[in-house]
Amino acid sequence: MSGTENRNDPLIDVRENGPYLVQGPLTFRDAQGNEQTIDRPWVALCRCGHSQKKPFCDGTHSSQNFQAEKGEFYKP
């Protein structure tokens, strides 16, 4: 799947050497319990650890040449 279709159920799309694209109705809750509803069909969450806008991806993974490990899917 390529990442930006409208869905009614959440989906996490792992991008190669990039962020997690999260699709679906989204509400974020911070450590203090404050909630923010995201009025977008998807958001990109940082996977590399270098974003200055965590938890969101700001594109820094590209300049940091982030390389994800292969085969990183583990069943919870």
Residues that bind ligand FES (CB under 6 A): 18-19, 46-48, 50-51, 57-61
- Torsion-angle region of 22 (φ positive above 0: left; ψ -120 to 50: alpha; else: beta): beta
Q: How far is the CB of 69 from ligand FES (least distance, A)?
A: 14
Closer by beta carbon to ligand FES, 35 or else 72: 72
Those residues with Cβ within 8 angstroms of residue 69's Cβ, 6 or more apart along the chain or in another chain: none
CA distance 30 to 49: 18
Nearer to ligand FES, 32 or 65 (CB): 65
Shortest approach of ligand FES to residue 59 CB, angstroms?
A: 6
Q: Which is nearer to ligand FES, 9 or 16 (CB)?
A: 16
For residue 60, which amino acid is it? T
